[in-house]
Structure 1
Amino acid sequence: MSVRNIFVVGMDEHNRQRLEHLRGAENYRFHGVIEPAEVNDTEIFPIEDMLFRAEAQLKAFGEPIDAIVGYMDFPVSTMLPLLCKRIGTPSTSLESLLKCEHKYWSRLVQREVMADYIPRFTAFDPFDPQALQRIGEAGLYMPFFVKPIKSSGSRLGFRIESPEDFAHAVERLCDGIGTISEPFNYVLDHANLPDDVRSVDGGHCMAEEIIGGWQCTVEGYVFQGDVVPYGIVDSIRYPQVLSFFCYRYPSRLPAAIQAKMEELTRQIMTHIGYDNAAFNIEYFWDEVQDRIWLLEINTRVAQSHCDIFEKVDGVSHQQVTVNLALGQRPDMPHRQGAFKVAGKFFYRVFFTDAIVSQVPSAEEIETLQQAFPGTVIALQVEAGMRLSSLPEQDSYSYALAYLWMGANDDVTLEENYARLAEQLHFAFENIVG
C-alpha cells in the first residue's frame, strides 16, 4: 500500500505520537498545517489569514494530499470544511457542520424532530439593554442559562438566578464575545443560511431553560449516511458547581438510557445531513423525571477522551477521524485496552484569581506517573502565572492540571486519583476570593 499523506491542523508533538499509534499508521505520514499555538491556548483567531496560509502551504506540497483532519474545537472544527473544499479532500458540508456548531440553528433543527428532548430556548443580543425583558417575552424566566451562539468549552457560560446575575453575565459577554464572534461570522459568510439564522450571528447569545442530571457524551461518526455511536463517556462535576471533576469511560448509565441516547443520536444526525465525519453529543439524564435532554452537538471527537479510549478500547478514537477523512469505515477496536475503566480528572482551585508561586517539578510528576502505571499528568500552569490568564476556563474555577488514569474498576480509579491528588503540591500568592 502506498503511503497516505494526512495533514493535521494544529498538530502538536503529543498528538503526533498518539496518531502514530493508530491502526494502519505504518502507511500514514502525518504533516502539521497551522501551528498549534495559533489554535490552542489562545483567544485570537484570525481565521481568514490562517486559511490563506494553510491553503498556500497545502497547494505547494509536491505530493498527493489524502486527508486533512483536526481534533480540536473552534476554530479548527469550524475551519475544516472550508479548507477541505479548497483542497478537494473529503469533509461534511459546511451547512451540516453549522447546524451543529451554531447553537441557535442547532436548536431550531433539533426542535423539528426531537422537541421533547430539548429545553426551551431563545436567542438574544447581549448589547441590547432590553435583552432580559425580551427573554421573558419569549417565555423564559429565571433561573436560566446563558452562553454565546458559538463558544469553546465552558467559556462564557453563566447560570442566571437574578437580574444582578444577568447584568454580570452580560458585562462579561460583551467584553469577551468578540474574540470568537468575529472569526465565526467570517465562516457564516461562506454558508447558505436560512434568514432566521443569518439574522442571529456570532455576536448573539442563547438563553435556555435549566436542564441537568447525569451528564454524558455519546461519541459517534457518520459513514456514507450510516450513523454509528461507539462509546458513551460520563461527565462528572464537582458538587454544587458547574466545573467538571472528571470524564469517565465506559459510562455507568443504565443500558436502556444508553440505548435511547444512541437512538436519538441516529435520529438527529440523520436529520441534519451530517456525513463522513466524527461528532459527539452531550446529553443529560434527569433520573428523577426519567427524562433525557440533548445539551449540544460537537463536530469532532473529544480530544479529552482520546487517552481514555486508548486505555479501555486499545487505541485513541482519533482512529475514527483519520479513517473517515481517508474515505474508510473506521477501524475502531472495542475493549482491547490495558484497563477496564479510565478517566480524565481536572485538578482545580476555586479562587477568583491568584498568582502561581509553586508547581510540582518534572521529577515529582515523573515519580507520580511511575507510582500509578498508565497515568499521564499535564500541568496547565507554571510558576509566576496569573490564573486569570489561563484560556478556555469555565466561569467558576481554574484547572491547574489534567490527569488521565486507568484502573480495573471504578472504585480503584477514584481512590487512586484521590491518593495522587494529595501529592500534587501547588502554592499561590495574592489569593482573591
Structure 2
Amino acid sequence: MFVPALTETQRGEIGTVDIPDGISLHGLLDYESLISAEELDFDELLDRARRELRAFDGPVDAIIAHWDFPTSVIVPVLAHEFGLPAPTLESVLKNEHKYWSRVLQREVVPECVPKFCAFDPFDDNALDSIDIPFPFWVKPIKSHSSQLGFEVPDADVFAAAVQQIREEIGRIADPFDQALARVEVSGDIRMAGGRTCLAEEIVTGTQAAPEGSMFRGDYHVHGVFDMRRDAEERSFTHLDYPARTVPPDVQQRMIDVTERYLRHTGFDNGCFNSEFMWDGETGKLWLIEVNTRISQSHSDLFAKVDGSSNHLVAIDVALGIPPRMPHRKGEFAVAAQCLVPRYEDGFVTRVPNEEKIAALRNRFPGTVVKIDVEVGEKLSEMPNQDAYRYKLATLYIGAPGADQLEQRYHDAIAALPFEFEEVH
C-alpha cells in the first residue's frame, strides 16, 4: 500500500487502523517534491512515481491520496495504470477545477450555489467582466487551501489582489494545466485554464463539513464536523467533532446535496469531504466546495472520538474492500483541531520547547501539538499560508464535553509561548 508524501504523523495515524494481513505501508515520492517544492512539474512527478512503483519488488495493491494537488490527481492516473480501485481522473478534476465544479453544481444543486463568474487576472479590464457587486471573493480556479484567496470590497483591493495573483498563480496553475490536458473538456471549461480566476458572492453563516466515501456506487458519510471561523469570519480556527452547531436535519441536507453532486460528476471508489455554510436565520444552505479525499485534519479527531483514524475508510476503498468505520468507540466524547494564529507579520524569536509541550500533554492526555514555525522565520515568507493570518501551531485536543474542550484550548494557548520581532 503506497501513500504519496507519507509523513511520520500519517504513519502514526495509520497505526490506529486495522490493516489487512499481508499489506505493508510504503511512501511514494517525498513531501518536499509533492508539497513544499518551489516549482511543480506534473508530468515529471507522475513519471517519477510511475518509475518508483515499477521498480518496487512486490505487488502494488493500493495507492492512496491524502494531499491536495498534485497528489490528488497523480493517484487516480497511477491507480488506473495499475488496475486499482480509484475515482476516474475526470471526476477528480471536475472537483479540483473550481469553475468546472461550480458549473456542475449549478446543474444539479442550483439552490446551494452562490453567484460566480470566471475572469482572466491578466486582463487589465478584468473587473469589467465581473457582474457580482462588491464585496466578493476572488481565487484561482486551483490553489492550495486559502492561498491567493481575497475578500474584495472595492476596485483598489481588487487591483492589489490581482497583482499578487499574477505573481504567484503559476506555481499551481501550470502543472494543473498539464493534468487538465489529459481529459476531454468542453470549450468554456477548456478556456478557463489554470491561470483563470473565480469571483464569487460572499456567503455567511455556520460552517460544517461532512466526510464520507463512495464505494461501488454505495454512498456513505462517517462524520460531520463544525468549522468554526475567526472573529473576522475569514478563516477557520477550529474543527470540532462531532458537529453540534448545525441541527441534525441541516446536516442531513448537507449529506444529501453532496451525494447528488458527486453522482452528477461520476465520482466513485473514493473518499470525499465537503464544506457548507448554513444561514440559520433564512435556512439557506450554501455549498462551498467538495474535496475528493479524506481530510487529514479530521484524522486524529476521528481516532479520539470513534477509535480509529479515517485512514481506515481510505485504505478499505483503495483495497477494494467495503469501507468500515467504528462509531463512538474512542477515548473522548468530543475533539477539536485548533489553530494558533497570528495576524501580523514578524520574525519568530521564540517557540514552545519540548518541556512546555510535554507539560501540556501531561496536563491534558491525548493532546497533540504540532509547531508550524521555527525561530528565525519571517511569517510572510512561509509557504502554504492563507491571505489573512499565519499559522503558528496546530493542536489536537480531546475532552469529555464541549465546555471542557473549549477551556482546554484556551489553557493550551496560554501554556505555549511564542515571541516575535516586528518587521520594520
Name the TM-score, length of structure 1 as normaliser. Answer: 0.95
- Equivalent-residue separation in structure 2 for 1:261 and 1:360 (angstroms): 39
The Cα of 1:319 is off from its aligned counterpart by: 1.0
Structure 1, unpaired ranges of 5+: 1-5
- Equivalent-residue separation in structure 2 for 1:267 and 1:181 (angstroms): 29
Change (3 A) 1:335 1:211: same
Residues 338-358 of structure 1, C-alpha deviation per residue, up to 9 Å, x if partnerless? 11100000001110x211011
1:133 to 107, 128, 134: 128
2:304: which partner in 1? 311
- SS of the aligned residue for 2:302 comes to helix
2:349 to 347, 353, 357: 357
Q: Is the 8 A contact 1:55 1:87 kept in 2?
A: no
The Cα of 1:430 is off from its aligned counterpart by: 2.6
The Cα of 1:185 is off from its aligned counterpart by: 0.5
- SS of the aligned residue for 2:36 comes to coil
- For 2:329, the aligned partner's letter is Q
- Equivalent-residue separation in structure 1 for 2:49 and 2:19 (angstroms): 26
1:325 to 308, 318, 343: 318
Q: Tell whether 2:246 aligns with 1:251.
A: no
The Cα of 1:360 is off from its aligned counterpart by: 0.9
9-18 vs 180-189, which moves further: 9-18
Q: Is the 8 A contact 1:78 1:97 kept in 2?
A: yes
Residues 322-366 of structure 1, C-alpha deviation per residue, up to 9 Å, x if partnerless? 110101111111111111100000001110x21101111122111
Q: Is the 8 A contact 2:316 2:324 kept in 1?
A: yes
2:61: which partner in 1? 66
Count of aligned positions: 423
1:407: which partner in 2? 399
- Equivalent-residue separation in structure 2 for 1:289 and 1:425 (angstroms): 42
Q: Tell whether 2:11 aligns with 1:22.
A: no
Change (3 A) 1:323 1:117: same
2:71 to 76, 89, 98: 76
Name the TM-score, length of structure 2 as normaliser. Answer: 0.97
2:281 to 274, 288, 291: 288
The Cα of 1:260 is off from its aligned counterpart by: 1.1
Residues 167-224 of structure 1, C-alpha deviation per residue, up to 9 Å, x if partnerless? 1110111111000000100100111211221110010000011112101111011011
201-210 vs 357-366, which moves further: 357-366
- For 1:331, the aligned partner's letter is R
The Cα of 1:40 is off from its aligned counterpart by: 2.5
- SS of the aligned residue for 2:386 comes to coil
The Cα of 1:43 is off from its aligned counterpart by: 4.0
301-310 vs 31-40, which moves further: 31-40
- SS of the aligned residue for 1:192 comes to coil
Change (3 A) 1:43 1:330: farther
Q: Tell whether 2:24 aligns with 1:32.
A: no
1:273 to 266, 269, 275: 266
- For 2:46, the aligned partner's letter is L
The 4+ residue runs of structure 1 with deviation greater than 4 A are none
- Equivalent-residue separation in structure 2 for 1:94 and 1:192 (angstroms): 11
Q: Tell whether 2:47 aligns with 1:52.
A: yes
1:377: which partner in 2? 369
1:93 to 74, 80, 88: 88
- Equivalent-residue separation in structure 2 for 1:230 and 1:324 (angstroms): 13
274-283 vs 241-250, which moves further: 241-250
Q: Sequence identity, in percent? A: 41
1:3: which partner in 2? none
